[in-house]
Structure 1
């Protein structure tokens, strides 16, 4: 390229700045032909440089494929089996005292119709055009199961009262619990509208509802809660047989208000000690990476535990329950500036596991001063619907 430019410059004539002044320095005289030659050389050189740059630079990453459909029909309900989606809505419905099994089947069939059509894009609502897939679940509360003598798990029962509970009855319980989750709250809001219309037509009334969300997080990474810590590390596989009984499971729901300002006022190491993990990486205090197994028995040379005796990670460790684990799903909620927190959902075959864990947490957890449980519910997550069928047909 240098040779090309030199040839072009050589083609330019020179002339004195002032022809009458022989002492004045000569300057190049640029005629049209010379200018065109130089421009062509520059263009050729720039083109070559551009080609080289493009060859050296990797191409743009291919756009990820759009999310595929999430089947509604299957042995187990998608709201448990599928990955956690960023936006969720919970609905609790009550049924009239005179409701029988036939009326319950009618209600479940109406809800199933909405959810099945939403899953395959068949819901006739232009607001859902192009909406990504949604997941759902339906669970029957203990009172309704007992009233109708349903074949629910023997372990299905309301939770006992825990120290510090401030439960609002208007936000708790319910005969039928429904959850829809999607990529966007727009989708869950519209699906809730359709579900509520179908349920009302079938004789149910709304008891409470709650919306939740996840913060943005790179794919595959654990989302954070409003305390800034990763929430959901070390979860079992949703398909783990230990979580299921005859393709059903039990849901425990807790609405937990979080005092984010008071927790943020703690020193950083104090927050880590209270949780038993490091806020930046999510690693346990006994490890270096998020998914390292917390060693709740490791001690410092002075004999004190590396993970303190009151740390959340220690008190919720499966090692204290013979290795039994629950599938945990947490969404944040932000209803008002003074009412923000966590919607905690856990799935297990026997809610006695949750009772044991929550009893330890309520009594000794270092996070307890910053948490208030304001709502609670339990439900039997029904087996999935067969192809072309509805939830609860086996009832």
Structure 2
């Protein structure tokens, strides 16, 4: 597993609408308990937002006359933009719910049908991301909800170019990924002509978008595979922090940050100076998608100290075993009293570090998943790993090769599906996603 990314939660949850029988009983100062709780929750929410980079503003208001409940703007008001330099869902802060879905164009469908489909999908995504109901027949699943940080991101698989007669426009970055010894890939849940990533901070909003995307596919494309994921809900911690994966590890500390001067160069295809014929990918990125099963029964048998040695970081706060806090650079040369390296030579954090891989970098933005208990009685759970880079052969591949040769974590995970997709830049006003490719 090449790590997990997380960006701090930037919105907060509103208080539950359910109340106890005495919720309206007067509290100190003559304010009802309902309003007192609402005010406290709003204050905490406002504090979280102030500290979160790129977060949507959250406002609180209490009636000055002491009438009615506290008025709170919820996390449902947060909105991502459909149009822009890059598609939403790449640098957007991690959402609480996610769906990944891949499609194959139906037999007989080609460039014409794909163009019409991307037009429909783009219109649906634009409306839903703005928090507006769909025209015509809407399922009503997301009635009463705001946009809830919804993002809908579209990508093209290698086979899409063959089926649309656009092979000459296919980037070399979509060449098949090499085989890795730890792979146990299911072809039925890998790859695909088209890929859609959906994320939102409300489960119903995310599901509503999923159903809309599937419905709009119509006769043009058929679902190849679909996966569901989750992250910690915004506001679930006292302060914004890096997420944890299902192994309990703080995961995503080493992600490149947008504030870094070379971030755009490492994650996105340049708008100018790219390969001839690939102008349609300007501002885009390449997504590697891997379903990574965690062998949790085996992992949870390890004492905490041994788990920390496998990763090379403390479980409680994510700090490197060489000391400091989560964001302290690990001292990879430091030895303990016994003369051995404090961070073992096969520790996951050492092997995956950019400085150990020629500076290879990728923006990791995954979801955890749990699909119940398998027939053998073990949980089918793990990571829907998604990483973004300007070139997967310089981002994902060298790191995974290194991990494949000797990562201590390998015995506790299994790669079960894989995909690689070209995700074009964000559409301009009046454009649909992929227009610069399909109408070239």
Which category describes the TM-score, using the shorter chain as reference length?
0.7 to 0.9
Matches within 5 A, 1:240-251: 240-242=263-265, 243-245=267-269, 246-251=282-287
* 1:173 and 2:183 aligned: no
Per-residue CA deviations over 1:367-394 (Å, capped at 9, x if unaligned) read 1111011110000011111113210110
TM-score normalised by length of structure 1 = 0.81
Q: Contact 2:360/2:396 (CA < 8 Å) preserved in 1?
A: no
* Residue 238 (structure 1) shift: 4.8
Q: Give SS of 1:394's match.
A: helix
CA, structure 1 residues 235+264, in 2 after alignment: closer, same or farther (shift >3 Å)?
Answer: same
For residue 150 of structure 2, what is the aligned residue in structure 1? Answer: 134
How many residues are aligned here? 339
Per-residue CA deviations over 1:283-305 (Å, capped at 9, x if unaligned) read 01122211111222222354421
* In structure 2, C-alpha distance between the alignment counterparts of 1:95 and 1:298, rounded to whole Å: 54
For residue 111 of structure 1, what is the aligned residue in structure 2? Answer: 121
Matches within 5 A, 1:155-304: 155-201=173-219, 203-216=220-233, 217-218=236-237, 219-238=239-258, 240-242=263-265, 243-245=267-269, 246-304=282-340
* Residue 233 (structure 1) shift: 1.2
Per-residue CA deviations over 1:200-219 (Å, capped at 9, x if unaligned) read 24x10000000000134425
Q: Contact 2:289/2:384 (CA < 8 Å) preserved in 1?
A: yes
Q: Give SS of 2:159's match.
A: helix
* In structure 1, C-alpha distance between the alignment counterparts of 2:168 and 2:331, rounded to whole Å: 42
Q: CA RMSD in A?
A: 2.0
TM-score normalised by length of structure 2 = 0.73
Q: Contact 1:256/1:375 (CA < 8 Å) preserved in 2?
A: yes
Identify the match of residue 375 of structure 1 among 401, 417, 429.
417
* Residue 307 (structure 1) shift: 0.7
Per-residue CA deviations over 1:5-55 (Å, capped at 9, x if unaligned) read xxxxxxxxxxxxxxxxxxxxxxxxxxxxxxxxxxxxxxxxxxxx979xxxx
Per-residue CA deviations over 1:341-390 (Å, capped at 9, x if unaligned) read 11110001111231211122122111111101111000001111111321
Matches within 5 A, 1:63-82: 63-64=45-46, 65=58, 66=74, 67-82=77-92
Identify the match of residue 167 of structure 2 among 146, 149, 159.
149
Q: Give SS of 2:421's match.
A: strand
For residue 33 of structure 1, what is the aligned residue in structure 2? Answer: none
Greater alpha carbon shift after TM alignment, 164-173 vs 355-364: 355-364
Greater gyration radius: 1
* In structure 1, C-alpha distance between the alignment counterparts of 2:368 and 2:168, rounded to whole Å: 33
Dislocated runs of 4+, deviation >4 Å: none
Greater alpha carbon shift after TM alignment, 118-127 vs 321-330: 118-127
Q: Contact 1:318/1:324 (CA < 8 Å) preserved in 2?
A: yes
Greater alpha carbon shift after TM alignment, 357-366 vs 97-106: 97-106
